Amino acid sequence: MTRNRSITMRAAALLIAALLLALSGCSGTTVPEPSGSETAAGNSELTRYQATFLELFDTVTAIVGYSADEQSFSEMVSAFHDELEEYHHLYDIYNDYEGVTNIKTINDNAGGDPVEVDQRIIDLLLFAREMYESTGGRTNVMMGSVLSLWHDARENGINNPDRAYLPDSEELEAANEHTGMDALVIDDEANTVQITDPEASLDVGAVAKGYAVQRVCDDMPEGLLVSVGGNVCATGPRPTDGSDWVVGVQDPDGGTSDYLLTVNVTSGSIVSSGDYQRYYTVDGVRYGHIIDPDTLYPPTYWRAVSVLVDDSGLGDALSTALFCMDQESGQELLDKYNAVAVWIDYDGSLIYSDGFAGYVNEVVE
């Protein structure tokens, strides 16, 4: 175990926040006034712009980049928004969209015939199957039957805190009988997906957002910093001088500028999982949205974990899995994918994986 830094703090959770982003989201895509210009290599003047929008993947999306003019940046943001919206519709498990066959459609047809779907759904589910095998089932998109019970309890607890409850343990055990990956049949050649168990369902929340963010970022220019909730993705260094982006690991009990540490990111993603993102409280105990497939309850290994890796979808899957396992097992998984991570323990300690220290810019006392 590598313990590069131990810090005593309030019960700190891990929230990824790009230092250069103003995450005051609004409805629709906006391009604020330029925040100042910088000169890039080649003596061409580039201006820093940022934009935010709120409605996709139930979180705030923020984009920072440099462009010769506002119109060019606005066009890029619109393209990003429109492509991410397509993924949002395809991967949605709750809503129908006219002319779209999505994950909800597959769930609605569980136990029935194969459903013909967009290749982007096939690609996501093939990736999810790979991650299921790599993580020993810790990242399992077929846990929909279990997660739906927790979702309903969490929504009730948030809306009616005086009547908050935990899902019935017997109902959880019964639902867990319908979480096997073998019930998911993917035909890549025919572009069809079938759930053979009528009581089973997909919940792709552990991988979908990060996977979508990476696919869209792959189509964007180099030199952008994108934050979609807990997923931060850099498409390359800042074009003004080739320097790294600086990304903060924030203490959510403080303000938006209260960070536990900052890290340097040139390209790739930093993705977090923890008990602070979506949770509710029952009898004074916090219950997060990530569920350990071994216990069917929120895991208690860590307060939070954040992963630095080349691909945001992989970061999503790894951060979920690491949150549900001990550090030794997590390190083995990180080594497999050439990734690094920082864990936050329940005593407030920051624990670095092998290699993470090389990315740290500053630790905040």
**What are the structure tokens assigned to 90, written together?**
């395809």
Q: Is residue 301 part of a domain?
A: no
The pLDDT value recorded for residue 232 is 93
Strand boundaries in 54-166, DSSP class E: 61-67, 115-116
Residue 162 maps to a domain: yes
In order, the DSSP letters of 181-247 are: GGGEEEETTTTEEEE--TT-----TTTHHHHHHHHHHHTSPSS-EEEETTEEEESSS-TTT-PPEEE
Average pLDDT over residues 192-201: 98
Q: What are phi and psi of 134, to 5 degrees?
A: -70, -35
Q: What gap in Å lies between CA 173 and CA 81, rounded to an integer?
A: 40
Rounded mean pLDDT, 263-287? 89
**Ranges 239-248, 257-266, 330-339, most confident:** 330-339
Q: Which residue has the tokens 């899995």?
A: 321
- Phi and psi of 332, rounded to 5°? -60, -40
CATH of the domain at 124: 1.10.3980.10
Secondary structure class of 248 (helix, strand, coil) = strand
Q: Is residue 145 part of a domain?
A: yes
Encoded amino acid at 215, one letter = R
| Structural domain includes residue 150 | yes
142 in a domain, yes or no? yes
Residue 149 falls within a domain, yes or no?
yes
Whether 175 and 169 have beta carbons less than 8 Å apart is answered as: no
Average pLDDT, integer, range 261-282: 87
pLDDT 10s digits, 26-61: 222 222 333 334 444 443 588 999 999 888 988 899
Let me know: does 269 contact 216? Beta carbons within 8 Å.
no
In this prediction the pTM is 0.86
Overall domain count for the chain: 1
Instruction: Determine the distance from the C-alpha atom of residue 74 to the mean position of all C-alpha atoms in its chain, rounded to a whole number.
Output: 25
Give residue 172's domain range: 103-195
pLDDT category of residue 75 using cuts at 50, 70 and 90: very high
In a domain, 88, yes or no: no
Amino acid at 39: T
